[in-house]
Amino acid sequence: MTSTLSRHMKPAHKAASRALGYALTLDDMEGWEAFSALIEARLSERERAGLAFAALRSQSETHAAWTAEAAVNDVAPPEVPTILDTPTGRAVMIEWREKRDAKERREVSA
């Protein structure tokens, strides 16, 4: 059965909704990376900003700051969120920290 709202949704919004459901169900780094790639391809900058704003507003101030820093600067927050608490997530976190450290070394030597 198709809901009335579903009949009026844009195909890109339906795809993003399904991808969010998959990412939430998988709850691993690969799922969230795939969701990020899909919404980058399917949603406008404004729509993605709305999602980011809503997600950050739903978190505590500390977690919102960590999440924003990790997303913008490719560094992992001091406290490991659930998404990173997997073997792949830990590998990504190590990579983020290496990038952060390399960036800091470049800034110091500049």
Tens digit of pLDDT for each residue in 77-94? 555 455 556 666 667 667
pTM, to two decimals = 0.62
Tens digit of pLDDT for each residue in 17-76? 999 999 999 888 788 888 999 999 999 999 999 999 999 999 988 888 888 888 887 665
Distances in whole angstroms, Cα of residue 52 to Cα of each of 26, 42, 59, 88: 20, 15, 11, 23
Question: 80-107: string of b/e by CB count within 10 Å (b at 16+)?
Answer: eeebbeeeebeebbeebeeebeeeeeee
